[in-house]
Structure 1
Amino acid sequence: MLGALAQAGGGPGHGGGGPGHGGPPKPSATPTPPPLPSYNGTGPTMLRFGCHQLVVDRIDPLVNPGAIPSPHQHQIVGGDAFNASMPYSDISSLSGCTTCSYSDDFSNYWTSNLYFQARNGSYKRVKQLPSRVFFPGDNASVVTQGGLIAYYVSPGQNMVKAFQPGFRMFFGDPTLRSPPAGKWDLGNQTCFRCYTGPDFGGDEFAPCQDPRVDTMYLPNKKCYGIRSNILFPTCWDGVSLDSADHKSHVAYPLEGPHVFDAIGTAKYCPRSHPVKIPQVMLEIVWDTAEFNDPALWPEDGSQPFVLSTGDHTGYSQHADYVFGWKGDALQVGMEAGCLGAACPGMKTQSLEKGTECSVRELVGENYSGWLSTLPGNPKQPPVTTPTSSTKKPHPTKPPKGDYPSHGGHHW
């Protein structure tokens, strides 16, 4: 990912594609990467830090509050206030510890798990790997035990508004089994990267921007690891901490979902959602190399990996976020003009301290070793009709009646 950041924004976008959809388009030429942006204390900020796994459990306080168990399993990181239900209050005041290296981040982040289904039909959970990137002061993300890497991006000082206590949001749809229909092509917001060789081979461009290795669907070939990236919308209505679908209070910019370029979030936010918020991206690396033995794969060579939703396509990849930064710590970070896991004015903690934080499993299912069914044996959607987005992002000039938020700065 170090090379990927150096080339952020240099790769072309890609469409949905997927099994039965012809796959991703092939690039006509090798893109030329732009130089790294300048992080000089006054320009953009990109927080990038590791969060160890807090717990693996089949609960979901955002989509299925109070349900024990919820329909499918998640892996969760962050503060120890995580529970089957979570109040719309200051989560940081309810937490005693966090698994994240920024010690004022008591937020919770959770995603699906990945399993391998062997030729005999049994399942085994895929282990997670730490990231490969080394930044000054980053002593956690490269040795993270399970969990994920979290990113927060701001274009510069006074350019985004940090989330408020009680805020939460959701990306994705656990029932999807084909490319999502809608206004935007979300291929630059959710993807799987297939590493082409050992030591993160092929990791050359920013997430979801290299059609040679990135797909919205689970790769249908052997990889030396699969990386998941999930990006959240970057505009907010400025009022609602949540919405019925956990999505409607946030929105994409008028010009379309912002790619991950480490320096920007939105050019123009719609009038309905005028407030620019940090771009949040989650990153998980799955150690799929141990399953590359052809004898384990289905006899027809079909894709053997499956998300904990029961989805073999990968289109149900999703992520949940409950904000829990302490006080104004996130706003301080968004104004810092810095890069990585050690920004001025932001508190950090040691690797050992982060691994001490955990919560008790509420469902208590066995998810180790080979299993006859996925945890919960989640029911599958009755219909999986292929769909695809046909509308593409329009030019960045705002339509009449809309306006660029926060002073009209362009990033």
Structure 2
Amino acid sequence: MKSAASLSVAAALLSGADAFWRMPCTSRTALARLDPIVDVGVASSHGHTIHGGSNFAERTSYDDLRKSECTSCQFSDDKSAYWTPSLHFVHDGGSTEIVPQIGGMLAYYQLIGTNLKAFPKDFQAVAGDSRLRNFTGPVPDPPTSAWTDDDMTQVSLGQKAIGFNCMNYNKNPEPSRYRHFLPSKDYLDENCADGIRAEIMFPSCWNGKDTDSPDHRSHIAYPNNIAGGQCPPGFETRLPSLFYETIWNTNAFKGKSGQFVWSNGDPTGYGYHADFINGWNIDTLQAAVNDCTSLSGLVEDCPHFAGSLQTQAQQGECKIKDLPKALDNDDCAGPAKGLCGNVPVQYGPGYANALKNGGHGKEPTVKPTLSSAAPVPTQSYASAKSKVEGVDVYNVQPSSAAASVYIVVAAAKPTPAYKASPAAPEPIKPTVTVAADIKNAPKTNEDGSILSTTTYTSAGTVYEVAIKEVAVTVTVEEPAKYKNRRHAHLHRKDRLH
């Protein structure tokens, strides 16, 4: 007899993928110093690129977002607020300008685990640490099969939840969260023709009662594999795994002298972070969590979103109407004399000084200072069998006590190479890019057994699934006493060989 595997079963077997949808927010509602989670009621210490519901301000609640007149996301009733730091280019003279975004932002809702609950009313959270300037784990990440208890602390998981993928559509894609630092300008110029993709995963284990906490993190936790795995005790309620992707066109500055810096004054990428305030109708979100099980990731394939999907042009029309007057003199896009909010650049590896919030947009008095030494870590891979060196430690001193702008003054020291256990595979040489080129993939093979192929994307990784027809021959040896009985039950398990 012949049988064909279903797409969903084949996909699950081939990739271990879970259902998900990705919410495109192809336009930002604002580029501004606003952060109603961390800097409530005042101007934020640094600029953010903001997507989602238009009713976003220095103070923003769930009810405020639900009253938004519009959203910059594709589903017109997703009034949630999504925001991250913006990426800027600092020219040698100290002037800054924002790096163009490509395609806005994607918010993935990965349905990993069982008995998932929708984000509750008033839920908000922060992922990442804006003041971090170092990575404390082995470089590169060990395979998950070799993770120790140290790899699975909440601090380690939070650092591994950040990624920066080099984009080059003419090469094979890098896996999600491949590297945890922003590559150097030279590396970006040489390898990343289509920019850099910033990624961050939110914790998905919830304590089941608090919609926020004093540090905006303690009410949630990462499962022990960042997205999948087991939740820690006290955080057994599973929420959708929220994952942001934002592509920045770093290639627009190819050949220009300077460096890239995040709006919080972080040139390393270790201080990348993200914020979320739920703005969904809770019943709609729970229905989508229950029913939107397509592996395509397309919101068009979720019946609960049908009839309420916006075009990119409609998304682009949604803007925050009334920014606070305290931001009137801000120029977060540039070209400007410094980072928005007069933010100093701090390299680390020590914990960065806290930034001041509530500024009134005065003209920057501190120009970002560039280092002649490499200001950001690098990561080199010689071969699959060679040692892997990750450089992320610097000796630093302030260039000016008044300016509080930090520069590298000594060569970086490599961290010890990770040594995998005998049972774990060695790290392999990675490839560079972002979207798999599957245009010329064969639709059948010589014997005609592949019926069709299809693709889907999960958290930035493109999977191709082949549905193959398999011929199965079953031989049944008939016992002698049944040879003359026309209706013998030949297909019982105990009579098959």
TM-score by shorter chain over 0.5 = yes
Matched, 1:79 2:53: yes
- Pair member with larger Rg: 2
Q: CA deviation at 1:103?
A: 1.6
Matched, 1:90 2:90: no
Matched, 1:111 2:84: yes
Q: What is the identity, as a one-letter code, of the residue corresponding to 1:149? A: L
Q: Distance in 2 between matches of 1:328 and 1:245?
A: 28
Q: What is the identity, as a one-letter code, of the residue corresponding to 2:285? A: L
| Pairs within 5 Å for 1:30-109 | 35=14, 44-51=18-25, 52-67=27-42, 69-87=43-61, 89-109=62-82
Q: Distance in 1 between matches of 2:170 and 2:180?
A: 19
Q: CA deviation at 1:249?
A: 0.3
More strand by share: 2
Q: Which residue of 1 aligns with 2:279?
A: 324
Conserved 8 A contact 2:55-2:67: yes
Q: Which residue of 1 aligns with 2:236?
A: 274
Q: Distance in 2 between matches of 1:375 and 1:235?
A: 34
Q: Distance in 2 between matches of 1:291 and 1:379?
A: 21
Relative to structure 1, the CA distance from residue 389 to residue 159 in structure 2 (aligned partners, 3 Å threshold; closer, same or farther) is: farther
Q: Which residue of 1 aligns with 2:299?
A: 341
- Provide structure 1 residue ranges, at least 5 long, that are not aligned to the other structure: 1-5, 7-32, 39-43, 131-146, 209-213, 259-265, 299-303, 393-411
Structure 2 residue matching 1:95: 3-state secondary structure: coil
| Pairs within 5 Å for 1:146-157 | 147-155=104-112
Conserved 8 A contact 2:34-2:47: yes
Matched, 1:242 2:227: no
User: In the TM superposition, what whole-angstrom CA distance separates every residue of 1:331-388 from its partner, at most 9, and x where no partner exists?
Assistant: 1211221231211122322223222211133313223442221111214569633599
Relative to structure 1, the CA distance from residue 391 to residue 154 in structure 2 (aligned partners, 3 Å threshold; closer, same or farther) is: farther
Matched, 1:375 2:365: no
Relative to structure 1, the CA distance from residue 234 to residue 71 in structure 2 (aligned partners, 3 Å threshold; closer, same or farther) is: same
Q: Distance in 2 between matches of 1:244 and 1:389?
A: 36
Q: Which residue of 2 aligns with 1:160?
A: 116
Q: CA deviation at 1:257?
A: 1.4
Q: Which residue of 2 aligns with 1:9?
A: none
Q: Distance in 1 between matches of 2:71 and 2:286?
A: 19
Conserved 8 A contact 1:58-1:74: yes
Structure 2 residue matching 1:332: 3-state secondary structure: helix
Conserved 8 A contact 2:205-2:237: yes
Q: Distance in 2 between matches of 1:63 and 1:390?
A: 37
Q: CA deviation at 1:84?
A: 0.6
Structure 1 residue matching 2:24: 3-state secondary structure: strand
Q: Which moved more, 1:161-170 or 1:338-347?
A: 338-347
Conserved 8 A contact 2:118-2:282: no
Relative to structure 1, the CA distance from residue 272 to residue 160 in structure 2 (aligned partners, 3 Å threshold; closer, same or farther) is: same
Q: Which residue of 2 aligns with 1:354?
A: 315
Matched, 1:297 2:272: no
Q: CA deviation at 1:327?
A: 3.5
Q: CA deviation at 1:151?
A: 0.4
Identical counterparts, % of pairs:
32
| Greater relative contact order (CA < 8 Å, ≥ 6 in sequence) | 1
Q: Distance in 2 between matches of 1:149 and 1:203?
A: 21
More helix by share: 2
Structure 2 residue matching 1:170: 3-state secondary structure: strand
Q: CA deviation at 1:50?
A: 1.1
Conserved 8 A contact 1:192-1:227: yes
Choose from 307, 330, 340 the match for 2:262. 307
